[in-house]
Amino acid sequence: MKWAKTKHVKETEFVTSGEKGSRIVAYILLSIGAFTMLIPFLWMISTSLKSPAEAVSMPPVWIPQVFRIENFRRAFEVAPFGRYFLNSVLITSISTLGELLTTILAAFAFSKMNFYGKNILFTILIATMMVPGELMIIPNYLTISRLGLMNTYAAMILPYVASVFSVFMLKQNFESVPNELYYAAKVDGSSDFKFLWTILVPLSKSAIVAVMILKIIGSWNSFMWPLIVTNDRLLRPLPVGLQAFTTEAGTQYELLMAASAIVVAPMVIIYLFLQRYIIMGVSKSGLKG
């Protein structure tokens, strides 16, 4: 009996030590992956503090001899970054609010309401997610051009006030709320609109915030579409404004990296403070991978 108990204890200790070893290996691999992902960001910060010679020197210099903080001031002098920043804030704010409104309404309709052809329409919408975004540039450009919206803020906002992925994500989350709660609200005389904004939206706050964060990051970093539909440099957002540091005479890498750090900083701060909502929202929606 004692031998059996001793054997069981040894097997338990072996399993526990094996799990600890697996965790250690997993942590090491994750740490290596995280550091690898951070290398470009660290290089950007390092280059933003270098002299012009150090920025292009070979072999590369990771730590500059003198930290040139004035590169950030000079970056603002080369291009109207104040105006670019306001443009990015305006475009990101309006497109995010527009997508949240259309996404919440569409997700509610597909998850709680019954209407003819609902499943077929939703299947068609999901199928559009398989179409590469690059293929939509020409149709969107022609539509914006024919509407006379070229070189306006509307041209950069209207094509992106709806997202099938966001609708799918919120629909999955809304479906986790029991239908009995919806039917009970209807029996009590609540309208669909009231149920949506007073009950369903507060219960799905984490998923909605996750959608909002993803939209903010995507809109803030948008480059190709604003570059195509705008000619006036005063209308352009921050990512497009980075072109000011690339001329026929060459690229001012130290100023370009300083400006890039300014562009990236707000998104890094937002993600660090609100990343838990992305994890919660995705986990509740049932998405994997």
Q: Are strands 250-251 and 246-247 parallel, antiparallel or unpaired?
A: antiparallel
**Domain hosting residue 203, numbered range:** 75-285
**Is the predicted pLDDT of residue 60 greater than 80, yes or no?**
no
List helix spans (H) across 196-252: 201-203, 205-220, 224-229, 238-241
- Nearest Cα to 122, choosing from 108, 136, 135? 108
Q: Are 269 and 216 in contact (CB under 8 A)?
A: no
**Is the predicted pLDDT of residue 115 greater than 90, yes or no?**
no
Q: What is the mean pLDDT of the chain?
A: 80
Question: What domain count does the chain have?
Answer: 2
Question: What does the alpha-carbon distance between residue 254 and residue 51 come to, in Å, rounded to a whole number?
Answer: 7
Q: Are 95 and 219 in contact (CB under 8 A)?
A: yes
- Residue 284, pLDDT score: 55
Distances (CA, A) of 84 to 157, 160, 235, 261: 15, 19, 7, 14
The answer as to whether 59 is a domain residue is: no
The answer as to whether 212 is a domain residue is: yes
Q: Are residues 112 and 44 in the same domain?
A: no
Backbone angles phi, psi at 250, to 5 degrees: 135, -175
- Residue 22, pLDDT score: 78
- Residue 9, pLDDT score: 46
- Percent of the chain beyond pLDDT 70? 87
The answer as to whether 84 is a domain residue is: yes
Q: Are residues 147 and 42 in the same domain?
A: no
* 141 vs 3 pLDDT, higher one: 141
The answer as to whether 184 is a domain residue is: yes
Q: Are residues 81 and 150 in the same domain?
A: yes
Q: Are residues 108 and 204 in the same domain?
A: yes
Q: pLDDT digits over 242-270, tens only?
A: 777 776 555 777 778 888 888 888 878 87
Q: Are residues 245 and 153 in the same domain?
A: yes
The answer as to whether 53 is a domain residue is: no
